[in-house]
Chains A and B, each alone.
Chain A
């Protein structure tokens, strides 16, 4: 299948979705909808009650995604309700383990995109992870659900109320990411993680159990969608 702004690749039971929207993979409504299509394709091809996992990454060692297209948000009040929120709801509801390979910079809404995934692997040598809404005067209802549910309380505060700028080592220590690796190794490390956990989807309850832990976030984004 052909997509705008991304490419997909399959390695065994692991799907890799690579964002390709230069220069920084900023997400607008169309890009989010294309991502949703890619996740749905992965789900269809993997099948029900099957082993599988999906990895989302950027295209190079510089940028993962530097956030939402804020110009579009100014022009169109519903850009997120038609794109970004449904995308997060899709990933949070997904029946297979998901991994964000943070190959480079992550800012703003893209931090939530990474937290929506079950696991995170980060480039150890390059790239910052930072959520600046408190600095920029931005908010959407439910913005805190993923920080609160995925991270320990002091770290959630650091992320949301301090807009702390994380490099890989500190992100690992604070539990924001699960592993860090050099640029030449990071895809392999992520594939290994995917292959370790793909079997957990086989009995058909992975999404149910994930939502036992983060369901309040899923519901918040479903509520905000469309």
Chain B
């Protein structure tokens, strides 16, 4: 039985065997991110980091609460009242995950759209629901951009796949995403947590020598730098907000 560390209405953090932690997003209806929720997620990552300590084995899985949604992106309305909303939550969240000293896995339980694209890609691994849910990034359709939005597609995906994601707003099923290298594994809804846990246990030991984040950032550090550059910034605009909403 996992040990409950955080048990709030919209977020849970549980500790499983083998130093594997599972963050469950349950912010109905679709786990949309606003600055407050992003900060909550950052808090969960920080809690895991402090519990594990330095030079330890460990891993984190970020999942949704059902087999329908993982996260359908940012709450775009928040930018209307607060133009710095992303700078106060979403970008720092991406920066936190890129910096995290332990392997991270996105268990893409269902639909994943918009800002949830970089959110999923910021994790080291991705497991996706094989039966249900689409993955797509619609910023080109919405007129949305922030500097660094393309870093993870560019650094982690083949050029033609990154082009489809960013310039075509292509939509992938789990199996299609696996073929294109966007996700590493797919699994049926009743098995997907077990698959993610197995993957987490396989790679948790790689954190033990204290260089996992350093090495990850040898590959993808440009993305982390881009996100940090626009985090907690109020002195200048940090992107073009959406001209259309979904």
| Count of chain A residues near B, Cβ 8 A | 20
Q: Which residues of B contact A197 (CB under 8 A)?
A: 167-168
Q: Which residues of A contact B174 (CB under 8 A)?
A: none
Q: Is the CB of B140 within 8 A of A206?
A: yes
Output the least CB separation between A81 and chain B (Å).
Answer: 27
Q: Is the CB of B140 within 8 A of A205?
A: yes
Interface residue ranges of B130-166 to A (CB < 8 Å): 139-145, 148-151, 153-154, 158-160, 162-163, 166
Interface residue ranges of A136-173 to B (CB < 8 Å): 149-152
Output the least CB separation between B114 and chain A (Å).
Answer: 13
Chain B, residue nearest A204 (CB): B143
Assembled-state Cα–Cα distance A178/B161 (Å): 12
Output the least CB separation between A139 and chain B (Å).
Answer: 22
Q: Is the CB of A212 within 8 A of B159?
A: no
Asked whether any CB of chain B lies closer than 8 Å to the CB of A2, the reply is: no
Chain B, residue nearest A212 (CB): B150
Overall SS of chain A's interface:
helix
Output the least CB separation between A207 and chain B (Å).
Answer: 10
| Count of chain B residues near A, Cβ 8 A | 25
Q: Is the CB of B141 within 8 A of A209?
A: no
Q: Is the CB of B149 within 8 A of A149?
A: no
Q: Is the CB of A213 within 8 A of B153?
A: yes
Output the least CB separation between B11 and chain A (Å).
Answer: 30
Assembled-state Cα–Cα distance A200/B168 (Å): 7
Q: Which residues of A contact B (CB under 8 A)?
A: 97, 118, 149-152, 175, 178, 197, 200, 203-206, 208-213
7 contacting pairs across A/B (C-beta < 8 A): A149-B154, A203-B141, A203-B144, A203-B243, A208-B240, A209-B149, A212-B149
